[in-house]
Structure 1
């Protein structure tokens, strides 16, 4: 009996709000999830809060995150030393706009006016922090219990000890309630009383508490939810009687939300109890926190990220909601208030939010529906993909006309009953007309049509039939029985005509190059395409609704203003502006932005004020009232950061003025409109008083920059608005002053005049003195230039005999030394040996790595040769990858031994510092002067020895 009383009371509470507001079923909410992949520091969302400035705050085990609708800004211990702990356990907004933050190690901080104020820490992990009406701070501590801290003290006074406290709350009478592992405590005058099972409280830990707007206490425990009624706690719903409840929320409708330990979220409303869990969109079934923001979106903190439910402009119907198919091609608004939805696996009727399937199959398989049509009597006709035309009779699909009995093709994309009650059938193989006597007329591309592929049919006010094909448009004149082509101008480059909308003055055509307007009075055609700002080329269907045209496309639904479109198309000015449009897609609630076309009707306006679109993932509907409601919500605007010459500068507290030093050249403001419903659609205006007192449109750009402002006082203001609405009076102001340079002051100018006079006199005296110094300077300059020329000549001489890359002697130097000394060695009968070294497979190094790597290899080998040549030995770079050596007083055998040492040293050298996987070997050819008479012969023999080494496999030394 008591339970029935509670349910009746709840229904009364709910019904009061329900009279003023409508609620969506959970299935109609638009779901979004954020986690570590999208900017959060951790996936366990311990607490959620929204501060008075509009920011959403998320507490996790790895820090604090602030959300502005577009991105998360992270606050961690590495950046904010006053952050209490890395693990943020509790967030509590204060009445004066601050935010209390409590952590896993007992730390407490107050964030207010962009400043962090560290509070004395608690002795254990803070599960919840709460400020009572008398400004006492109440703390729910893990394992330690409940404490309070007086506003005039920093000492924590124990109230309940040796338990885990989870949440504390104050009711309208000033009574403090505490949820603990022992159960529910009632605290009056700082004295606790444990509620007992005789009072209806489960003998189990209590995790969470809620005071409803009418002052009623609800608890969530390990053994279900309870609501206090007349001194006794009763279950609000039988299904919640034993369900472990971890979090509670009352939304703006008065509905109650219950977060559970392992079954997701429940909502209790006048519509009954609804459940949302991981099977239908939640990231996880463990709920840690719940919040409703000022835009009425519901935020759910789970152990797998934060989840948001919002009333998006669009909602969708698919197989999960009862449709036969997710791939919908056509949707028809019926005169009886129902909607007919045709997809790839059948036909459905939607009426009063209930789906019924239309019976009928072909050889056991469902029909694939392409087009729909309502006859004047209310009968529904159906065009299919492979079965021709069907008719719905007694809720069943009955074959009517197909290829076997006269239809040109079974693929039927458009149907039309004209004003003479003749049925026109547009198929993939031409146009068929079924006359009232049952006879058929066939029209094909061989005679009357530019293409046999028919996509759209429509009748104008003069009873003429407009035919959209895969290759243009024709109009059937019912007076003359003649098809007249409507040829698109060549510059349009349009070919396919997917849909028509005909009004008194124009025929509008959705084509593969934009929206074409045909004027009835003069047959003039204009096109709204990308050149005028349309975001896509290909349009499928045109739906007029009030003062807008709604256009379906593969990239979403486009809304344009009918009047503005006509003004753009009528303008003869080259500078006629661009189109203002709204593009709706998945972010607005559609399951897929791919609207389907090529069959009619693929979109329709319904009698209840909704517009429906066939998409690749169900049928999507938009209710314009939802769009209007969203734009009525107050939109906070905030300046997030202020940079001076690229360096961040602290923003002032409201009313303060920032003093900037003289000489600043660039000021940059980052701002945001704190909307979580349509953040990507917000428009901004800025104004800098003192520079330009007019508001400047920024569209959706969230940055304003100013350069080279003169000294003076300024006020920067920014405001935001939703699309197609008036600007809200929500602007934020930053006052700043750029100080003057000292040279801009009057005293400095007087000083400069006096200084000018002094300088003129001094310049005269200096000029006399300078003439005397010129002669000395010229003399000194001649001496210096002579010395510089000598040094330059020496440098040229050095460069002529040395290799620029390795700084070794070059071939000229080597040849000169050999020519100058060979005859002396022969005359003294001394042995003179030479060697020519070549880097093996050097071309592979250049080709396999690069010429730059090749140059580094040459330099590295040159360094090795320099380090190992001793005494009178000479080494030179002979050219390319070849080096030459001179060994005075050395025989060929001795020189061979020296070369072998060099070869092995290079072979064992690790070249990985130059390139990964690179190894280098060299080959030597050695000869001496024993039996040769000139140095040319000596060189030739060394070269032959090198050639022999290469022929014998390289990486070796040969002697000739």
Structure 2
């Protein structure tokens, strides 16, 4: 008997030693989900579950096949699977090259591979199971008919075992095929069957399932228990399994064995013993039909009432079911001895060695309501309660320590702290109490020391100062001055409640009712991360640092943010838009039984010695191992392009290496894709790229579709890739080549033909016009010559008119300005003087008014004649406009020109104008300037004009120089 027991232990160790070096979760720590017909399944009986190499999960039911991408089921029936005669499907078997065999209740068999269906010859009756071996031949386990062998590419089934119901076939490492049948276990060697009778150690009972472990051991699931092969004999795996009816088998990544039963749910055998999961623990039904572990290590359980999944969710919970005194927890403490303490409305528990122990003690028969916890330097634990003040835990029993009757301000204690001077600080609802080493008490209240008597959090910085979080701000007890200093929140933050602290080398971080506040110790500068910066909720309770991240508890779940990312946002200068806030919010969908993380006292969240984080919630204590999250993001993440829609209508996906040809005139092209993760499908991030349109990756966040409109004809390559949250992009991009065809008028040869035709038309028109022009060339030449002569004469007349005054026939202002602009620079460059005079007839308006405009015109003409007669040929005279004339004196200074101007002035003054009008006398004023002191002709004119004004202001009939 002892020898037999030793063999069994050895065998048990053999297959358990294959386990990976990962910690396993108890079944109660798994996060479970259920799918049924209300979730999109075609039927609730899950006959088989399989995962193909592309990452899809496949489910066989009595009403068709369902393919799951993590978010939705796609139903595939006989309308999709060509020529398969079965709606009810019984078996799914993946192939090594990525394909999937589907077998049904009427014997139908089909192979799905590379997006193509290949329907095989049907078997004689329902196929319970089939396998494909290395040479592509098939072994079939048939209902009532037995086991058959079908060679590759053959339509003939060779009977191996007949007249029994065969449920499963499997090939071991030596090429031996084993068959589970209603008559028992058969060994098929070289197509020769041998029944494993009771003399081999097996009971005389039907065998329903078989499993070859990674270590090569054969596991047999029968109507009378589970057995393991030991040499030529079979032994019971575990005494508790001996009388169970085993319907399905699974070895997980830890090497643990899972047993699906006919009426007892699922059993797991591990070094921790036998665990059971049944309908009382959430399983849809106790009849288990299939088991599978996917590539993300989730366990899928097919029952006759739906599909059930157990996954190692980020969070697991300790609740009353696992031994806590109450689900409503308020405080957690990581003890230096490796234990975890959890306090709640109904007492205090110590969690150690995966067990929860209740601390004994009550008040008048009622359990203590624990609000806060503290580990003293000597390892003792102190508890702050809701109605009983401060208790001390000794030998796992509560001992009253301090309450209102012996000096405490209030029995409601939400924060405890031992400072570096071994003084106990007690934060209550009525202020702060300090217990000194000698036992004396110091009381601090809102009457003189605190902004509020409601104390929520206490901590000590490296200098020994005590930080106090209250219901109305934060104060710091200065260890040197023994006084409280108020930390004023920056105007606009509007924070009041300070629920928790974390102090690093540079900053004090505060969890407040308006977000995360950062206080710089050296400068007292504040910054806040709140709703405006992108937080999903602004009331935060506790800050737990872990591996470069902050884990923030709130009433809507646990928020994880990279600390460096927070710093980059808070350090963004004013006026510059900060980067968008990236965070992860974990809630009920991630394993928490309640997203309400209670935080009205401290500590409400802690980091444990093993790297796990613990949070007090309304439904137990939730715990997470960040390392598990990191490991989950390292699992290969397949990306799949599921649908291509053209103008809203789906088209067939291309086969491997083929392109999609799209007809011309398409206005809208959309792609739908998925990342085949079943752990966190809603959290996956996607990037897409359409080469030929935009060669850079475009962030799609969590969107599972991309749409493009009005793409021109041409060749494109659509690419998509996926990543887990807070993880690098994996090399998992999927590619599809698209060719948008063009109308015939959009094609290059058509455009070339049109271009050539256009050139020919242009050439023909050109030749015709050339001929026509030749005919009229002579006539046009004659006309042009005559018209040219006429135009030249007319142009000369127009040119003369444009530069001469019609009244005096003298050059006008345009001619004068042109001459001056053309010659001034030459005179300046040659350093030759150039003088200009501007003449204005005095009181000319009076002449027009008293003697008429006709007389005025005669006066102007007379003065023009006097000027012509009094000037030399090189002295240019022009009528400047109205009653003004200009005279240019080349090579003369203003003084030299003044003599000429005086002569001209006197000639005008002494001229007898009485012939034009009785009593008419005319005088003129002259303004002179030269180029010796100016740099441009405009300035020269301006100075001459100023000289004229000077002459006018000097009494007129004179000559002035400027």
Alignment TM-score > 0.5, same fold: yes
Q: Which residue of 2 aligns with 1:320?
A: 321
Measure, in 2, the Cα distance between the counterparts of 1:5 and 1:517.
62
Q: Does 1:305 align with 2:306?
A: yes
Paired residue for 1:848?
Answer: none
Written as runs of structure 1 = structure 2, the 5 A alignment for 1:270-349 is 270-349=271-350
Tell me: CA distance 1:533–1:326, structure 2 relative to 1, closer, same or farther (3 Å). same
Structure 1 residue 682 corresponds to structure 2 residue 705: no
Partner of 2:91: 90
- Shift of residue 760, structure 1, vs aligned partner: 11
Q: Which residue of 2 aligns with 1:928?
A: none
Distance in 2, Cα, partners of 1:60 & 1:15 = 33
Q: Name 2:873's counterpart in structure 1.
A: none
Deviation of residue 390 (structure 1)?
Answer: 0.7
Q: Give the equivalent residue in structure 2 for 1:626.
A: 628
Alignment of 1:161-172 (within 5 A): 161-172=162-173
CA contact (8 A) 2:188 2:194 kept: yes
CA distance in 2, matches of 1:445, 1:347: 31
Q: Which moved more, 1:479-488 or 1:522-531?
A: 479-488
| Partner SS, residue 695 of structure 1 | strand
CA distance in 1, matches of 2:570, 2:586: 23
**Does the alignment pair 1:478 with 2:474?**
no
Q: How far, CA to CA, are the matches of 2:626 and 2:89 in structure 1?
A: 40
1:543: how far off?
0.8
User: Residue 180 of structure 1: CA displacement?
Assistant: 1.4
**Cα distance 1:101–1:233, how it changes in 2: closer, same or farther (>3 A)?**
same
- Do 1:89 and 1:128's aligned partners in 2 also have CA atoms closer than 8 Å? yes
Matches for 1:475-874 after TM superposition, within 5 Å: 475-572=476-573, 573-753=575-755
- What does 1:860-939 correspond to in 2, within 5 Å? none
Residue in 2 aligned with 1:134?
A: 135
- Are the counterparts in 2 of residues 82 and 116 from structure 1 also a CA contact under 8 Å? no
Tell me which residue corresponds to 1:265.
266
- Structure 1 residue 592, shift from structure 2 partner: 1.9
C-alpha distance in structure 2 between counterparts of 1:556 and 1:122, whole Å: 54
1:56: Cα distance to partner? Answer: 0.6
3-state DSSP class of the match of 2:564? Answer: helix
**CA offsets 1:671-712 (integer angstroms, 9 cap, x no match):** 111112222222222222222222222222211222222222
Residue aligning to 2:419 = 418
SS in 2 for 1:407: coil
Between the aligned partners of 2:287 and 2:305, the Cα distance in structure 1 is 8
Deviation at 1:321, TM superposition (A): 1.5
Please report how far the alpha carbon of residue 79 of structure 1 lies from its aligned counterpart in structure 2 after TM superposition: 5.2
- Structure 1 SS opposite 2:438: coil
- 2:55 is aligned with 1:54: yes
Secondary structure of 1:632's counterpart equals coil
> Tell me, what secondary structure is at the counterpart of 1:178?
strand
Q: Secondary structure at the match of 1:628?
A: helix
Q: TM-score, normalised by structure 2?
A: 0.76
Inter-CA distance 340–411: structure 2 relative to 1 (3 Å threshold): same
**Cα 1:650–1:740, aligned 2, differ >3 Å: closer, same or farther?**
same
Alignment of 1:87-166 (within 5 A): 87-166=88-167
Residue 370 to residue 82, structure 1, CA distance change in 2 (3 Å): farther
Between the aligned partners of 2:122 and 2:475, the Cα distance in structure 1 is 80
TM-score of the superposition, structure 1-length normalised?
Answer: 0.77
* Range moving further from structure 2, 534-543 or 421-430: 421-430
* C-alpha displacement of 1:110: 1.5
Mapped to 1, the partners of 2:177 and 2:357 lie a distance apart of: 53
Report deviation, 1:84. 4.2
Q: Which residue is 2:442 aligned to?
A: 441
Name 1:24's counterpart in structure 2. 25
Structure 1 residues 249 and 471: alpha-carbon distance in aligned structure 2, compared to 1, 3 A threshold: same
Task: Give the drift of 1:556.
Answer: 1.2
Mapped to 2, the partners of 1:716 and 1:13 lie a distance apart of 49
1:750 positional shift: 4.5
Q: Who is 1:244 aligned against? A: 245
SS at match of 1:282: coil
Report how far residue 742 of structure 1 moved.
2.1
1:875-898 alpha-carbon deviations (Å, 9 max, x no partner): xxxxxxxxxxxxxxxxxxxxxxxx
Cα distance between partner residues in 2 of 1:544 and 1:583: 16
**Take 1:8 and 1:436, find their aligned partners in 2: how far apart are those partners?**
58
Report if the CA contact (8 A) 1:660-1:738 is conserved: yes
Alpha carbons of structure 1 residues 730 and 46: separation in structure 2 relative to 1, 3 Å? same
User: How far apart are the structure 1 equivalents of 2:394 and 2:96?
Assistant: 65
Task: Report the alpha carbon displacement of residue 380 of structure 1 after superposing the two structures with TM.
Answer: 1.0
Q: Tell me, what secondary structure is at the counterpart of 2:738?
A: strand
Aligned to 2:864: none
Match of 1:951 in 2: none
Deviation, 1:101, is 0.8
Q: Report the equivalent of 1:183.
A: 184
- Distance (whole Å) between structure 2 residues aligned to residue 171 and residue 18 of structure 1: 20
Q: Take 1:754 and 1:52, find their aligned partners in 2: how far apart are those partners?
A: 55
After TM superposition, give the deviation of residue 168 of structure 1 in Å: 1.3
Contact 2:531-2:538 within 8 A present in 1 as well: yes
- Separation of aligned partners in 2, 1:37 and 1:307: 14
Other-structure match for 1:38: 39
Kindly indicate whether residue 210 of structure 2 is the aligned counterpart of residue 201 of structure 1: no
CA–CA separation in structure 1 for the residues paired with 2:620 and 2:37: 30
Q: Match for residue 791 of structure 2?
A: none
Assess if the C-alpha contact under 8 Å between 2:12 and 2:237 holds in 1. no
1:84–1:449 distance in 2 versus 1, CA, 3 Å: farther
Give how far 1:636 is off. 1.1
Contact residue 663 and residue 741 of structure 1 kept, 8 A: yes
Quick check: 2:82–2:119 contact (8 Å CA) kept in 1? no
Q: Which has more radius of gyration?
A: 2
Structure 1 stretch 133-142 or stretch 55-64: which is displaced more? 133-142
Give the distance between the partners of 1:526 and 1:672, measured in 2 at CA.
39
| Cα pair distance change 1:227/1:427, threshold 3 Å | same
For residue 421 of structure 1, report the CA deviation from its aligned partner: 2.0
Q: CA RMSD for the aligned pairs?
A: 2.2
Would you say the 8 A contact 2:639–2:722 is kept in 1? yes
2:15, 2:343 → 1: CA distance?
37
The runs of 5 or more residues in structure 1 that have no matched partner are 764-960
- Contact (CA 8 Å) 1:431, 1:454: kept in 2 or not? yes
Q: State the shift of 1:259 in Å.
A: 0.9
Moved more, 737-746 or 633-642: 737-746
Tell whether the 8 Å contact from 1:472 to 1:488 is kept in structure 2 after alignment. Answer: yes
- CA shift digits 1:303-342 (9 cap, x unpaired): 1211222222222211222221211110111122221111
Shift of 1:640: 1.0
**Quick check: 2:19–2:253 contact (8 Å CA) kept in 1?**
no
**1:452-476 deviation digits (Å, cap 9, x = unpaired):** 2211112222322222122222222
Query: Contact conserved, 2:205 with 2:224, CA < 8 A, in 1?
Result: yes
Match of 1:822 in 2: none
**Residues in 2 aligned to 1:185 and 1:750: alpha-carbon distance in whole angstroms:** 75
Residues in 2 aligned to 1:554 and 1:186: alpha-carbon distance in whole angstroms: 60
Change (3 A) 1:152 1:752: closer
C-alpha displacement at 1:549, in angstroms? 0.9
3-state DSSP of counterpart to 1:726? coil
C-alpha distance in structure 1 between counterparts of 2:142 and 2:230, whole Å: 28
Larger deviation, residues 265-274 vs 618-627: 265-274
Aligned residues of 1:220 and 1:248 also touching (Cα < 8 A): yes
Q: How far apart, in 2, do the equivalents of 1:222 and 1:445 lie?
A: 74
**What is the deviation of 1:540?**
0.5
Question: What is the rounded CA distance, in whole Å, between the counterparts of 1:630 and 1:344 in structure 2?
Answer: 35
How far, CA to CA, are the matches of 1:10 and 1:250 in structure 2? 15
Corresponding residue of 1:885? none
